Structure 1
Amino acid sequence: MNTQEKIDLRDTMVQTLIEAVDQQINVAVAVSDSTSTAKIAPFQKKFPERLVNVGIAEQNLVGVATGLALGGYVVVTTNAAPFLVGRANEQVKNDVCYSQTNVKLVGLNAGVCYGPLASTHHAIDDLSIMRGFGNIQIFAPSDAVETREIFRYALRYNGPVYIRMDSAKFPTFHEEDYRFEPGKVDVLREGNAVTIIAVGSVVHEAMAAAQELAAQSFSAEVLNISSIRPLQPQRIIESLQKTKRVITVEEHSLHGGLGSIVSEIIADNGLQAISVRLGITEGQFSKAGPRDKIRAYYKIDKQGIVETARKMMGN
C-alpha cells in the first residue's frame, strides 16, 4: 500500500469489525455514549443488534462487555482511552484481566489527541497502567494496514487485549501483504548510526526524522513497537549492539511506557548503549494546547528527534 493518502485508523477498525462479522466471528461492540468518537455508525447501521450503548458509564461498559463475552461474544469496547483506563480501572483489572475474559479494550484518542482539553482528557498513562495488569496483550498500531492486521489478530485471539488508538489521519507505510505477528519488532528502516524506537502515531515522526537525518548523511534505524506485550527483545538488542545509541519516542509519560521497556531491556541484557527517552515528563501532567505544539515542546516531533540524534552523535 505504502501511500501518502491519510487514513483515519478508526475507519479501518470499523471496517475490520464489519468484515469479521461477515466472516462469522460473533462480534459485539460496546460503547459508552462514544459512537461518534469510535466512528462506529457503519457497523451500527449494518448490525444494530450487535451494538450496546451503556451511556456515559465506563464501569458499566466493562461490566456489560464482560457479561457479553461470558455469553459467547467476542466483545470490543470502543471509547476514549483516559476514561477507559481511569474510570473503569477496577473493572478492567478484575472483570477482564484477572478473569481472562475475551474482551478487546480499545483506547481511542490516546496520548494528547484531545490537545486543548488538557489533563482530564489526555491519556499519557494508559500503557503503564495496562502493563501493570496481568493476562492482557497490549498493541498500538501506527497506520491503517497495521490497524487492520492487529484487529484481525485480536478478534481471533481468545483473551484480553488492549489496543491503543489515535484519532488523526496518517499515511500508510506498510505494504498490503504485511502481516502482524504479536511480539515481533517491526523494522521500518535499517541503519547503523542511531536506533530510533517509537510506538503508535509518533512512528511517523520517527520515520520523518530518519529521512531528514539520511539527507544529512546520518543512518538511523527505525523500530516500530506495535506489540508492547508480548514483546520479543532480540531485534532491539541486535540494533543497540550495532548502533550503541537509542532514542525512544512516545506520546506517553516517561514513566512505565516505551522508554521504560527499552531501559529494562538494556539493563537486563547488560548492553552498552547511550539512551535518550523522549516523552511526557515523568511525574507531570502534559501541557495543554494544539497537538503539534505539545509534540514540539516534548521533542517528540520530527525536529525534536533530529536535534536529539544530532546531539547524541556529537554534531
Structure 2
Amino acid sequence: MSNSEHFANIMVQCFIDAVKAGVDLVPVVADSTSTSKIKPFVAEFPDRLVNVGIAEQVMVGTAAGLALSGKVAATCNAAPFLVSRSNEQVKVDVCYNNTNVKLFGLNSGASYGPLASTHHAIDDISTMRGFGNIQIFAPSCPIECKQIIEHAIREMGPVYIRMDGKALPELHDTDYRFVPGEPSLLRKGSKVAICALGSVVHEAVAAADSLIEAGLDVAVINVSSIRPLNRELLGNMLSGMPHVVTVEEHNINGGLGSIVAEVVAEQGLKSQLTRLGVADGNYAAAGDRSYTRKNLSIDSAGIALVCQNLMG
C-alpha cells in the first residue's frame, strides 16, 4: 500500500480480494460508478455489480434483498445522498430487519466543499447513531480503512463506514491492528486530549506535533469505532485531563462531540470539554477543504490555537 491512498480505491480492492476468497459479495451503486471507483471490480467480475441508477432508496432496498438471499451486499455512493434520500430504507430494510448490508458513505463531511450543504454529509453519524443495531466506523488512514472494511465484510449485520473523499497518508505503523470498539492513542500527553475521527485526525496530529514541539503537553486520540465503542477505555484515556477537545467534520450534535460529552458526564470526569465542528444550527461553509476547515477551526492551526488558549 502506498503512503497516501484514496479510501474508495482501498474499498474496491477489498471487494476484489473478498470475492476471490469466496465471499459472495455484490456491490450496489446508484449511478455512482465514478464516485465509488468501482471500475477495477467490474473488470474482474463484470456480472457482479448492480447499478440501479440515480435512485438511492432503490439501491438500499435492493441491497437488503440481496442480503436476504444470502449475499453480502455493499452500497457505494456519496454519503449525503445515502443518508438523506434513503433514510427510511436504511432504518427499516437494513437496520430493523438486521440485513447483512454494508453501507459505504463516500465523500463524507465537506469533501464536496464548493457544492455546499446539499452535498455535505455533516449529520451522517448522528443519523446512523439513531438506528439501533448498525455498526459505525470512520477510518482515518489507509491501513485502518483496509482493516475496518475487512472486518465489516466478515461481520454479520448492518455496518456503516464513513469514507473521506481524498487520498490520505498513513497515521499508524505497519503493525497496527484495528480492534472494533477501541480508540487508539496517537500522541501521549496529560494537559489536553484531542479526540478526532476520520480525515481530521490528520489535522489533530499536525496541531499536536506543533504544540509538543513548543513544549506543550497534548494527547491525540483517534476514535474510528463509533459503534461499538469501549466507553470505559475512552474514559480511562481521558481521566485526569484538565481539557478535552473534540474535532470532527460533522455537526457537534450527535457526532463525536456528543459521544465524548456522554462519556465525560457518565463517568464523572472532571474535564472541561470543547467541541469543534459545525456549530449547532449551522451548515458548513461552501468552499474548498482548507477554507471550510479554517472557518470551523478544525484545521491544524485552528486546533492548535484552541489548545493554546485552553492552556493559557
TM over 0.5: yes
Per the alignment, residue 39 of structure 1 pairs with 37
1:161 and 1:62 map into 2 onto residues whose CA distance is: 13
2:76 and 2:160 map into 1 onto residues whose CA distance is: 11
Q: What is the identity, as a one-letter code, of the residue corresponding to 2:132? A: G
Unpaired stretches in structure 2, ≥5 consecutive residues: none
What is the SS of the residue equivalent to 1:36? coil
Tell me if 1:29 matches 2:36. no
What is the SS of the residue equivalent to 2:116? helix
What is the SS of the residue equivalent to 1:49? coil
Per the alignment, residue 231 of structure 2 pairs with 233
2:236 and 2:187 map into 1 onto residues whose CA distance is: 14
Q: What's the % identity of the aligned pairs?
A: 54
Q: CA deviation at 1:239?
A: 2.6
Superposed, 1:41-190 pairs within 5 Å as: 41-190=39-188
Q: TM-score, normalised by structure 2?
A: 0.98
Unpaired stretches in structure 1, ≥5 consecutive residues: none
1:107 and 1:277 map into 2 onto residues whose CA distance is: 23
1:59 and 1:298 map into 2 onto residues whose CA distance is: 32
Q: CA deviation at 1:188?
A: 1.2
Q: What is the identity, as a one-letter code, of the residue corresponding to 1:175? A: D
Q: CA deviation at 1:211?
A: 0.4
Q: What is the identity, as a one-letter code, of the residue corresponding to 1:296? A: K
What is the SS of the residue equivalent to 1:285? coil
Q: CA deviation at 1:234?
A: 2.3
What is the SS of the residue equivalent to 1:279? strand
Per the alignment, residue 289 of structure 2 pairs with 291
2:23 and 2:85 map into 1 onto residues whose CA distance is: 29
Q: What is the identity, as a one-letter code, of the residue corresponding to 2:283? A: F
Of the structure 1 ranges 171-180 and 136-145, higher mean CA displacement relative to structure 2 is found in 171-180
Q: CA deviation at 1:284?
A: 1.3
How many residue pairs align between the two structures? 312
Q: TM-score, normalised by structure 1?
A: 0.97
1:241 and 1:173 map into 2 onto residues whose CA distance is: 24
Tell me if 1:197 matches 2:195. yes
RMSD value, Cα: 1.0
1:179 and 1:25 map into 2 onto residues whose CA distance is: 22
Is the 8 Å Cα contact of residues 140 and 171 (structure 2) preserved in structure 1? no
Q: CA deviation at 1:49?
A: 1.2
Q: CA deviation at 1:220?
A: 1.1
Q: What is the identity, as a one-letter code, of the residue corresponding to 2:44? A: K
Is the 8 Å Cα contact of residues 240 and 270 (structure 2) preserved in structure 1? no
Q: CA deviation at 1:302?
A: 0.1
Per the alignment, residue 211 of structure 2 pairs with 213
Q: CA deviation at 1:255?
A: 1.2
- 1:10-64 deviations in whole A, cap 9, x for unaligned? 1111111111111111111000000100111101110111110000000000010
4+ residue runs of structure 1 moved beyond 3 angstroms? none
- 1:92-147 deviations in whole A, cap 9, x for unaligned? 00000000000000000100000010011000000000000011000000011001
Is the 8 Å Cα contact of residues 64 and 93 (structure 2) preserved in structure 1? yes
What is the SS of the residue equivalent to 1:77? strand
Of the structure 1 ranges 235-244 and 190-199, higher mean CA displacement relative to structure 2 is found in 235-244
Q: What is the identity, as a one-letter code, of the residue corresponding to 2:214? A: Q
1:67 and 1:146 map into 2 onto residues whose CA distance is: 29
Q: What is the identity, as a one-letter code, of the residue corresponding to 1:28? A: V
1:158 and 1:238 map into 2 onto residues whose CA distance is: 30
Q: CA deviation at 1:219?
A: 1.9
